[in-house]
Amino acid sequence: MNRTLPTSTVGSLPKPSWLAQPEVLWSPWRLQGDELIEGKQDALRIAAHEQSNRGIDIVSDGEQTRQHFVTTFIEHLDGVDFEQRETVRIRNRYDASVPTVIGDVSRSKPVFVDDARFLRQQTDKPIKWALPGPMTMIDTLYDGHYKSREKLAWEFATILNQEARDLEAAGVDIIQFDEPAFNVYFDEMKDWGVAALERAAEGLRAETAVHICYGYGIKANTDWKASLGSEWRQYEESFPLLQQSSIDIISLECHNSRVPIDLVELVRGKKVMLGAIDVADERVETPQEVAVTLRRALEFVDADKLLPSTNCGMAPFPRDIALAKLSALSAGAHIVREEISAASLTEAVR
């Protein structure tokens, strides 16, 4: 990537209302059969072009072809029964009815590769594809087979690595693993979570990213955040391990959040995908507000390693607001980019 401060989103964007009911998670599709396939592709095309038109430098699929960032991937694997459901507590926060692992898990064919190939055709810009991380996957399931979170996570890591290699071959430049569970299960994260993540990313030529956040702007998450006190120091647990890991890019939540910005120092040397757009507030940031967050981050990350982004996915937002936030992100990054190049010119003249 040649550009300073290349912008991207964490992943999801709202779907068009003709494809799925807006502003809800796990929204059922409104089309079927061939119409659904065509509808998903049209939505993906729109998402890619809106990102490009609004100046986003690293383009994603907006997760237009998936109902949910974790379950859609799992649905395509063998060994999981979606009819047999159990209620479990997700990330120690809210109860959800989830599918059951009934046998050895495996991937009989690629899950997202056709979609990634389609995205590749839509743009010349670098593209990024998000997959769930192993620990977040096991936290969204009831395991009636392995009876071991660690064992199941390692199985998923192997499957994720197969999928990631296929995505890379389809032309994906950055593969991102979403691991919000790293902000919750610190002991497991240290024991085997980071190792399982590295296994998922093993041997890739594409850049790899891990996204850790405080979740979508839904009530269960905002209630949880309200209980976390005045400073959110959860990243202090994962960042030192990730700094030592093979993962290239660390994606974190920052704007309007109570995360102390100096925690970014803990991943010094890595690229940092910094959340400069709030996904829990529908008010659209001004470019200046985005710029303020980016300038603060630049005290702790070198300019050539900062990637301005959103705090998390924007799927639950009204569509016009999510799109306006893309423009705000681009405009804010532009302000800081100009400041950096003016400063380096002054430096050169001296």
CB of 17 to Zn ion, least distance (A): 23
User: Is residue 141 a contact partner of residue 82, using CB atoms and an 8 Å limit?
Assistant: no
CB of 151 to Zn ion, least distance (A): 26
213 near Zn ion (CB under 5 A): yes
CB of 24 to Zn ion, least distance (A): 17
184, 266, 301, 312: residue in contact with Zn ion (rule CB under 5 A)? 312
Size of the site for Zn ion (CB under 5 A): 2
210 near Zn ion (CB under 5 A): no
Structure tokens at 270: 């890595």
Select the span of 29-37, 190-198, 210-218, 264-272 touching Zn ion (CB under 5 A). Answer: 210-218
Phi, psi of 71, deg, nearest 5: -65, -35
Distances (CA, A) of 172 to 26, 120, 125, 236, 243: 26, 7, 10, 30, 24
CB of 178 to Zn ion, least distance (A): 6
Nearer to Zn ion, 56 or 210 (CB): 210
CB of 51 to Zn ion, least distance (A): 17
Select the span of 88-96, 167-175, 185-193, 310-318 touching Zn ion (CB under 5 A). Answer: 310-318
252-281 burial, b if ≥16 CB within 10 A, otherwise e? bbbbbbebebebbebbeebbbbbbbbbbbb
314 near Zn ion (CB under 5 A): no
Select the span of 13-21, 208-216, 220-228, 282-290 touching Zn ion (CB under 5 A). Answer: 208-216
- Beta pairing, strands 142-143 & 94-106: parallel
Indicate if the alpha-carbon torsion angle 174, 180, 181, 183 is positive or negative: positive
User: Is residue 141 a contact partner of residue 74, using CB atoms and an 8 Å limit?
Assistant: yes
Contact residues: Zn ion, CB under 5 A: 213, 312
